[in-house]
Amino acid sequence: MMNGKALSLSADFVRVLKAAKRAWQAPVRVAASSELSNDPTIYYLAPDYQKPSGGIRVMYRHVDLLNQAGMRAFVLHQKPRFRCNWFENDTRITDIQSTTVRRGDLLVVSELNVDLLAKLPQGVRYVIFNQNSHLTWLRNGDSSSSAYMAGPDRAGVLTVSSHNQEVLRFAFPDCRIDRVHLSIDPQMFYPGTDARPRRIAYMPRRGREDAEQVLAILKARGALAGWEIAALDGLPHHRIAGELRRTRIFLAFTGQEGFGLPAAEAMACGCYVVGNHGFGGAEFFHPEYSTAVPTGDVLAFARAVQDVLAREAGDATWCSERGKRASTAILSTYGEEQERRDVVQIFSEFLNVPARMVA
């Protein structure tokens, strides 16, 4: 018989997979030609998806960094004039109706769009940008693996966490897997100076079923008396940051993450984070300033939250002191300059351009 813990994890994981399919697996097309490009360009193929998605925002960020470094780069969407508007950007955008990818260009695709690579003309080079190794085989099963095999048109494979890199290296031992560090915008995600109310926040778009159970358990015990519970959902990027700066405790509910930007951004804002690191976030869930809980274990999650609430009741600075340490660690480890160096260096190699010429 399946126990409650397993049922919760299974139901939530299915929901996440369905959401991923809707967001990333809508059929995508690319116009490509074996003709030589007159102006070598990097194209990041992104879904036309108008809801908050950390993976898409990272693609936009990379295109900005590449253009700032003197490389020609665009986000490649399906529909003309489509642009993500849930965060501020002036990123260079193009679409498949007005763009042809040619020899000399680089096409960057996600782990969910590798099936189209077999349709590219010979000589059109590509990069696989795998932001969640757990989704590698979601769309095409074993056939997805062929895209990672060595070939003259595979320029490289990128990922965003040490966990992703470890998974992909184990699966494809003969494939070079480069890791690029993500960055947290310090102008948007920072602790602030205002006193924080007794407030707990979470994002229901991930792990909704587990969140409902954990909060119900805590309410049944009376543990949440005097605390405001805020579900951060459907807000623009800057609003999320503002809400996090008003939060003492952030609850991270998730299954299998490639990195886990929400938890990292909450830490950058000075929140004490309790919850699931999703494996990809294990590298920044340090016990000195956060509490990690196994995915799906709602009892352990509720106990961990109650423990934090008890410590905060005994010392009103308990969360804030650890939140400051978390913010310092996150903003120093995932800084913009580190991400810039990673992206520019790697794509300089892919394009055979000395980094000093574009840095």
Q: What tens digit of pLDDT does each residue of 111-132 get?
A: 999 999 989 999 999 999 999 9
1 contact partners, CB below 8 Å, separation of at least 6 = none
pLDDT in tens, 55-110: 999 999 999 999 999 999 999 999 999 999 988 999 999 999 999 999 999 999 99
Judge whether residue 32 has pLDDT over 90: yes
pLDDT at site 234: 85
Asked if residue 216 and residue 258 are part of one domain, the reply reads yes
| CATH label of the domain that carries residue 260 | 3.40.50.2000
Calculate the average pLDDT of the chain: 90
Asked if residue 148 and residue 128 are part of one domain, the reply reads yes
3-state secondary structure of 284: coil
Asked if residue 114 and residue 58 are part of one domain, the reply reads yes
Contact yes or no for 157/177 (Cβ under 8 A): yes
Tokens 């990123």 identify what position?
A: 91
Range of the domain at 97: 20-181+335-358
Asked if residue 275 and residue 352 are part of one domain, the reply reads no
pLDDT band at 345 (very low <50, low <70, confident <90, very high): very high
Asked if residue 122 and residue 107 are part of one domain, the reply reads yes
Structural domain total, the chain: 2
DSSP letters along 151-214, please? Answer: -TTEEEEEESSHHHHHHHHHH-TTS-EEE------TTTS---SSPPPSEEEE-TTSSHHHHHHH
Judge whether residue 226 has pLDDT over 90: yes
Asked if residue 316 and residue 354 are part of one domain, the reply reads no
3-state secondary structure 287-354: CCCEEECCCCCHHHHHHHHHHHHHHHHHCCCHHHHHHHHHHHHHHHHCCHHHHHHHHHHHHHHHCCCC
Asked if residue 108 and residue 208 are part of one domain, the reply reads no
Asked if residue 339 and residue 304 are part of one domain, the reply reads no
Residue 119 lies in a domain: yes
Lookup: tokens for 313: 């009741």
Asked if residue 295 and residue 157 are part of one domain, the reply reads no
Asked if residue 300 and residue 177 are part of one domain, the reply reads no
Residue 51 lies in a domain: yes
7 backbone dihedrals φ, ψ, rounded to 5°: -65, -40
Judge whether residue 356 has pLDDT over 70: no
Asked if residue 149 and residue 276 are part of one domain, the reply reads no
pLDDT at site 16: 46
Q: Which of 23-27, 151-155, 157-161 has the highest mean pLDDT?
A: 157-161
